[in-house]
Amino acid sequence: MSVNSMQYDVAAIIEGYSQGYFLMADENNTLGWYGSCDRTLIPLDDRFRYPKSLRRVLNQQRFSTAINRDFKAVVDGCANRDTTWISPQLKDIYYSLNQTGWAYSFETWQGDQLAGGILGIVINGAFIGESMFFHIPEGSKVAMVKLVERLRARQFVFFDAQMMNPHLERFGAYYISDREYQALLHKALQSNCSFI
């Protein structure tokens, strides 16, 4: 389905995510739907882990957390890199999804300074992580730990990270097949979870 013709058709966008697809822009800023044979999940059970050095940071309580305190700044932070798949059009889509209660920013703050954040789409019991960033070292890592705690407490079915990278591996991220993903997605869509 064409993204350009449905830029603000929130229902069609959510339907795409509900089928297991996700949006990305290519190097020409052309937006398209993508799928994956292997999906990466952040565990919401005892497989989730993080370094002892991060435990010390958490114990120091240097960061506070917030949801949607500055959604636009989180989107901008996620897109601000040498090579990004978050095009201006995709930013607009995220803003529309946020305004209609589908997209959220889970943020860490140090005083009045945005330290880091995770951008995600929430559909019932599924948290689909789109991207993350930090301005202050450890900001995004603390966001990850606190977000997992929140998803556990609210009984989310899964935390989809889409694609593996070394940073996510340190938290225990793991691959599942598309077949396994579709089964979890079906379960998540039947769940009645609230993110906020």
Instruction: Render pLDDT for 41-60 as a digit per residue (tens, 0 to 9).
Output: 999 999 999 989 999 999 99
DSSP three-state, residue 189: helix
Predicted pLDDT at 3: 46
Predicted pLDDT at 190: 97
CA distance 69 to 183: 33
Predicted pLDDT at 128: 98
- pLDDT < 70 positions in the chain: 1-8
Delineate the domains of the chain, giving CATH numbers in brackets: 4-190 (3.40.630.70)
pLDDT in tens, 7-32: 469 999 999 999 999 999 999 999 99
Predicted pLDDT at 4: 44
Predicted pLDDT at 5: 39
Listed residue (122, 148, 118, 143) closest to 132, CA to CA: 118
Predicted pLDDT at 37: 87
Residue 166 φ/ψ, nearest 5 degrees: -60, -35
Structure tokens at 4: 């350009």
Predicted pLDDT at 7: 47
Predicted pLDDT at 8: 60
Predicted pLDDT at 170: 93
Predicted pLDDT at 138: 95
109 in Cβ contact with 115 (< 8 Å):
yes
